[in-house]
Each structure stands twice: as C-alpha cells, then as structure tokens.
Amino acid sequence: MMLLAFDIGNTNITLGCFDGDTLRFVSRMFSAAEKASDEIAVSLLNILHIHQTRPEDIDGAIISSVVPVLTQTVAQAVTTLTGKLPRIVGPEHHGCFKVDILPIEQIGADLISASVAAVKKYPLPCLIADLGTATKILVIDESGRFCGCTIAPGVKISADALNKRTALLPAVNFTVPKHAIGTNTTECIQSGIVFGTAAMLDGMVQRILKELHVPRATLVATGGYSKSILPCCEQTFTYDENLLLDGLRAIYES
C-alpha cells in the first residue's frame, strides 16, 4: 500500500510517502495559507515526480493539521491529483490511545499523531519534546495514557520577538555558542535562546517526572530545532525525525 502522510504545521507542510512499512521519502513545503489547492497540487505532483512516484500509485492519504485554513486546501489538492479522499486526523482518533482530557476537541492533531507513534515505538512512560514553531513536551504515562503537555514559544519565535520588539538586538542564527556567558550581542542571544531552551527542557522533565511519581521516563525529541538544542541538554533524548509521520501511518492503518 502506498500512503501519503501530511503533517501541516505553522511553518512547514511535511510530506511522507510510505510503501507499506517503509518510508520511501520525506519532503517539505512552506505553509503558505494563501496558496490555492491547484498550486499545492502542482507542487505535490513535482515532488512525486522527483521521487519517481506516480499519482495513480497512491492508495490513500492522511492529514494532520494545526493550520485549519490549509487543511481542506491540501485535502482538495490530494484528491485532485490522486483521486483519493484523505483522512483528516481529529478528536475521533483519540481512540488510538488512552486519554482522559476533556474536552477531547482541545487535543491537537499533532499531539494525537505523536502520541500514537510514541506508544507503539517506545517504552513507557514517555515524554516527547517537539521543537518546532512551538516548543512542546507531551506526557504519556506508563499505562499509555496521554496526560497532557506543556507549550512554550519556539526557538525561532523567541528570536524573532527579541529582534522585532527591541531597537538594538539583531536577528541571529542558531549556532551553539562556545560559552553560556556571551561576550558580544550575538553570543548573548544565542546563549539565552539555545542554552535557555535546553535548560527549560531539562528542568521541565524533572518537574514532570515528579508529578508522574516516577524516577525516569523514555525521552524522545522531534521537530526542526531538535538538532540544535538536544546536544546542549543534560537529559538524554532519542531523536526521532519522523515521529509524527509514523503516527499518521499507524492511525491510517488502524
């Protein structure tokens, strides 16, 4: 079975193409809300062509989205191109894992997808750090129950806010500085954001473990900024780049 899995985030649309259990390729597009479905269909056709995949080879599709304005646009593009109506992850799919948070509608599709994948792939309890547009930590207890999560501004949001809301602080890249004590403006910002995010993850893990009343948990990280932040953490995280895509495949197959 050939499956297209879409993770629509605030910054990127991540597309994974599965051939059975094998992830054939991963590609990304910008999450441009103003694009029409035909434009996205053309981009998708080009991506499939690059990876030597024909639209008629696609057997199904599934979408996880945190950008409502793009959800139906992408769904229409997929239907136009492949003739297949995608499944859209929503509150009804919480049955794929245990949850007691109410209302169910407050659980985002990305949280559902990541949680389903983590329960299937890792020992429990499990904490999932998703370092994307927002920095999130998802909490799954030893019974496989989704307990909730934490949400903080992401790395780029924090850097952009400093640049836009101050007169003199420049935009910087996310290179890890040599020292926590910065000696110039760029290093100071890098230290605050990179080391600060790493320290937040370390501290939040300890707080969450205390609330769960467990000495340890499996720590998993995903999201675009993980590679910059994880080496600076004192906690040891397993980096899983395609965690959400794996969760989407599991939901589709269930």
Q: Which residues are catalytic?
A: 110
Tokens 């990541």 sit on residue: 114
Structure tokens at 31: 């999450």
Torsion of CA 111, 112, 117, 120, to 10 degrees: 130
Query: What residues are paired with 88 via a beta bridge?
Result: 63
Structure tokens at 15: 């597309």
Query: What residues are paired with 15 via a beta bridge?
Result: 6, 27
Identity of the amino acid at 60: G
Distance CA 41, CA 215 (A): 48
Q: Classify residue 104 by its DSSP letter.
A: G
Structure tokens at 210: 């205390």
